[in-house]
Amino acid sequence: MEYMSCPEAAKKWGISGRRVQILCREKRIQGVSKLGYMWLIPKDAEKPIDGRTKQGKELYHE
């Protein structure tokens, strides 16, 4: 399986690297794992729904 780093995921999904780290820590990204200090995110992982927005809350709680 191929993996990407937090900065690569951030660029791909159009969000900050810090937000990707938070999503990893909360296990909101399917298949994420940690190796030392680095998060390993599967290349085919989908961007999680943002539950902080009104639209995201509606989708997240369906």
Could you read off the pLDDT of 2-38 as tens digits, one per residue?
999 999 999 999 999 999 999 999 999 999 999 999 9
Which residues, listed in sequence order, are joined to residue 22 by a DSSP beta bridge? none
Q: Which residues neighbour 39 within 8 Å (Cβ) at sequence distance 6 or greater? A: 5, 6, 20, 21, 24, 32, 33
Per-residue confidence at 55, pLDDT binned at 50, 70, 90?
low
In which band, very low, low, confident or very high, does the pLDDT at 60 lie, cut at 50, 70 and 90?
Answer: low
* Entry pTM: 0.79
pLDDT of residue 41: 97
- Burial string for 3-37 (b: 16+ CB within 10 Å, else e) reads bbebeebbeebebeeebbeebbeeeebeebeeeee
